[in-house]
């Protein structure tokens, strides 16, 4: 069964050994990376966390080369973050560059709007960008290695209530349906003569805002259809089901991954505490 990311953009982990792990192992490793972000508040620790995320994706066989076009979006967002830190925040530190954009003389003093770059500001911006990259990589690792079946039957093997397992599966399935409906609406708009490639950026945002109307309508319709399907099968949050069709047991590799996840979180917590 394809993973969640394979259904969204066709990207799936290639390591069959990693895909054969228990869903708890495949969930705890990205979770430990995400929780370690709390302690990665400087560029060095954030860079180390990015390296760990890349190593985990490489071990799982996630084809990061297929995500190059999304990295361009990440880099543009990172440039915007650095610009925002420079224009709208004044982080104390050694000034590297300063330029007065606006200076107004008033009765009670002088108002100045400056473009100021400090070493502390650049360090904070770099750490923030690296933390975003680590978060994206951990989410990619999670979505590229789990499927709906793994999620439902794996959580059931941990004695999680069946209603919560179905809700978690429907959440990921809803992401896929949302993306599918969006591309359908976009292709329909292109069939009516809308050229997104040559349209100015402001006009493009307006077109996407107009696309939200049919998208929300489809979301309501999808939710109603899913609720009818669950009701027709007699499923409710308190329903129970037999979990004997699939048996997920923790093996040695699962215990190794769980131990590595706990060690990763503990090491970053200790590094942040003693730094």
Q: Residues 94-105: pLDDT tens digits? A: 666 666 666 666
Percent of the chain with pLDDT over 70: 71
Token couple for 130: 């690296």
Highest mean pLDDT among 44-53, 134-143, 178-187: 44-53
Q: Is the pLDDT of residue 184 over 80?
A: yes
How far is it, in rounded angstroms, from Cα 153 to Cα 155? 5
Mean pLDDT over 169-195 rounds to 78
Token couple for 169: 């599966």
40 by DSSP, 3-state: which? coil
The reply to whether the predicted model has a pTM over 0.85 is no
How far is it, in rounded angstroms, from Cα 174 to Cα 86? 38
Q: For 131, how many CA atoms within 13 A lie in the half-sphere containing its CB?
A: 18
Instruction: Quote the crossing angle between the two packed helices 119-143 and 43-60, to the nearest 10°.
Output: 20
Q: Is the pLDDT of residue 70 over 70?
A: no
DSSP, res 15: -
Q: Which residue has the higher pLDDT, 219 or 52?
A: 52
Q: How far is CA 13 from CA 5, 60, 96, 210, in A?
A: 9, 6, 44, 35
Q: Is the pLDDT of residue 215 over 70?
A: yes
How far is it, in rounded angstroms, from Cα 190 to Cα 234? 41
């Amino acid at each position: 069964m394809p993973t969640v990311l394979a259904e969204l953009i066709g990207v799936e982990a290639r390591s069959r050994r990693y895909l054969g792990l228990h869903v708890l192992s495949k969930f705890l490793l990205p979770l430990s990376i995400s929780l370690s972000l709390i302690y990665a508040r400087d560029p060095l620790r954030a860079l180390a966390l990015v390296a760990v995320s890349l190593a985990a994706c490489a071990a799982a066989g996630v084809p990061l080369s297929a995500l190059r076009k999304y990295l361009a979006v990440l880099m543009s967002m990172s440039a915007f973050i650095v610009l925002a830190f420079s224009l709208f925040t004044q982080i104390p530190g050694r000034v590297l560059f300063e330029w007065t954009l606006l200076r107004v003389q008033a009765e009670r003093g002088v108002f100045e709007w400056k473009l100021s770059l400090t070493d502390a500001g650049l360090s904070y911006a770099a750490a923030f960008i690296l933390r975003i990259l680590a978060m994206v990589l951990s989410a990619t690792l999670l979505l590229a290695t789990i499927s709906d079946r793994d999620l439902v039957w794996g959580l059931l093997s941990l004695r999680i209530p069946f209603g919560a397992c179905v809700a978690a599966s429907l959440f990921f399935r809803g992401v896929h349906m949302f993306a599918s409906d969006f591309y359908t609406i976009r292709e329909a708009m292109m069939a009516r003569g809308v050229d997104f490639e040559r349209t100015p950026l402001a006009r493009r945002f307006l077109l996407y805002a107009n696309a939200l109307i049919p998208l929300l309508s489809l979301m309501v319709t999808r939710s109603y259809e899913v609720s009818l399907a669950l009701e027709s099968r007699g499923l409710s949050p308190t329903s129970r089901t037999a979990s004997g069709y699939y048996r997920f047991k923790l093996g040695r590799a699962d215990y190794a991954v769980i131990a590595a996840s706990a060690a990763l979180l503990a090491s970053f917590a200790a590094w942040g505490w003693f730094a």
